[in-house]
Structure 1
Amino acid sequence: MTERNTQRFANRKILITGASQGIGEDAAMHFAREGAQVAINGRKAEKLRPLLEKLPQPAQGKHLIVAGDMSVEEDVDRVMKETLEGFQGLDVLICNAGMQIECPSEDITLKDFNAVMAVNVTGVVLCARAALRYWRDNDQPGNIIVNSSVHQQIPKPHYLGYSASKGAVGNIVRTLALEYARYNIRVNAVAPGAIVTPINDSWVKDPEKYEATAKHIPMKRPGECREISDAMAFLASGESSYITGQTLFVDGGLTLYADFEENWSS
């Protein structure tokens, strides 16, 4: 496991959406261990309380629960207000909330497609908009990190809404990065591959499916949540101070066209 500098984010204020499980939960623990004040978001406050109780306490201030649906404009505005008032500021926004629905593309309903886009795309835009307004109004630097996916680049049959949403995220990140670089506001994305997380329980908890998944990955194993939070921490830190508008693929080589590991085409 990577050694973590426990003071790297001392006095930093970080909001993480979708923090009730998986990557979001691990990221909250990671940043708290390194000294940050963390505001954890999910749709229901009761699902966040066990995490709040586990977070190492910051030297100053406190952690926050800011419950709300990140696809709903009123909820985003309220969550941002509660975070800014509770922290008296914000340094890093991590847009981690996401969802996916499996369905053959010819059968997808508009309701399901819109639901995925609302969380994965509209949610990112609404959260980013609120943070950008605060930083610009207060003439402060800022940092946005979006949790994307290898499916920003790799098609995912039967997951049309998810693939479309992650493709959109890639260009949202690039657009915001270009627009706000002059204000010292950085915007980047982390794109996980196959990760051991509750959203992937259908194959994580099935030994045969787990092995089949691992065979498709050049490193021959799925990733761990901590490996994604390590990447988020890098992008949130001063170590990446000259990086903006980029997507960091954390995928064990999955986007290297793993089927070409052995030359079969010529």
Structure 2
Amino acid sequence: MSSETSRPASNSGTPTPAFAGQKVFITGASQGIGAETARFFAANGARVVLNGRNVKALETVLASLAQVPEGPHLITPADVSDEKAISDAMAKAISEMGGLDILICNAGFQIEGPSEDFSVADFERVMGVNVLGTAIPARQALRYWLKNDIKGRIVVNSSVHQIIPKPGYLSYAASKGALGNIVRTLALEYASHGIRINAVAPGAIVTPINDSWVNDPEQYKVVSSHIPMKRPGQSAEIAAVIGFLAGPASSYITGQTLFVDGGLTLYADFEKNWSS
């Protein structure tokens, strides 16, 4: 039986890493927030499984991870929207690692286009990765934890667009809205088993998905101007919050979405009073 507890100091007097001995499965781990989250957990003692579709990119991330005594980190390539592929990948990872403590549902993507012209195929692709790509891995983790009486944790990477509209990205906004209720529903359903499910909702973050403005100095300034803290976030800042939600410091938190957005959800236009 596994439970969330603080790790004692080692006999040498050196504090034991926060996630020592923990096994973590991360979807969408080939770049950006997923890759940085993998580095965070490995640096804090966890054994990590990297999931994604780009094997070469996953291997690059794998090479950057700190080694841990429990064994090598793993790569399990699979499309999270493919039920059999991701289910088999998780079963293989659990078998090779000898367990699973934490699932990070990070995989996601978006397709831009006017809402009057969206294609059903594109809409289904986005929902498949962002929604089914969260629900299926969560289902597999829950089955394992319930069978083995493990108090596991799931952290979902959502978005500020869980609550902020995103014109031109209808399927993406719909998918992120769905994630909020998936988290709340699963959290309520499994709270009595000691299983916790939460979400982090990033704002504008410096990641490859945002290269169009990250690499354009003028656009970078424009984006920053809309954020109350006047800068975009870094992947490491999101990874740290994911670590918090997966760790013992948040042991009484479940069903919540934590917005990590530099104040983007604070209605920045009201920073100066113009309405009264």
- Compute the TM-score of the two structures, normalised by the length of structure 2: 0.94
Aligned match of 1:234 in 244, 256, 268? 244
Unaligned runs of 5+ in 1: none
Separation in 2, partners of 1:132, 1:201:
35
1:81 aligns with 2:91: yes
State the SS of the aligned residue for 2:19.
coil
Amino acid of the residue matched to residue 33 of structure 2?
I
* Residue 21 of structure 1: aligned partner: 31
Aligned pair partner of 1:217 in 224, 227, 237: 227
Paired residue for 2:12? Answer: none
Tell me the alpha carbon deviations over residues 18-39 of structure 1, each in whole angstroms, 9 at most, x when there is no partner: 0000000000011101110000
- Give the corresponding residue for 2:149: 139
RMSD: 0.9
Once the two structures are superposed, residues 189-212 of structure 1 have per-residue CA deviations (whole angstroms, 9 ceiling, x without a partner) of 000000000000011111111100
CA distance in 1, matches of 2:55, 2:148: 29
User: How far apart, in 1, do the equivalents of 2:130 and 2:16 lie?
Assistant: 31
CA–CA distance in structure 2, aligned partners of residues 226 and 39 of structure 1:
18
Question: Aligned partners of 2:57, 2:72: CA distance in 1, in Å?
Answer: 19
1:60 aligns with 2:70: yes
SS at match of 2:211: helix
In structure 2, what is the Cα distance between the partners aligned to 1:89 and 1:118? 26
Deviations 1:67-86 (A, max 9, x none): 00000001111111111011
Q: 1:258 aligns with which of 244, 247, 268?
A: 268
Deviation, 1:6, is: 7.0
**Contact persistence 1:20–1:51 (CA under 8 A):** yes
- Counterpart CA distance in 2 for 1:211 and 1:252 is 15
The whole-number CA distance in structure 2 between the counterparts of 1:54 and 1:219 is: 30
Query: What per-residue deviation string (whole Å, max 9, x for no partner) do you get for residues 124-177 of structure 1?
Result: 010100000000011111100000000001000000000000000000000000
Q: Which residue of 2 aligns with 1:165?
A: 175
Distance 2:124 2:46 in 1: 35
What secondary structure is seen at the aligned counterpart in 2 of 1:76?
A: helix
8 Å Cα contact 1:6-1:33 kept in structure 2: no
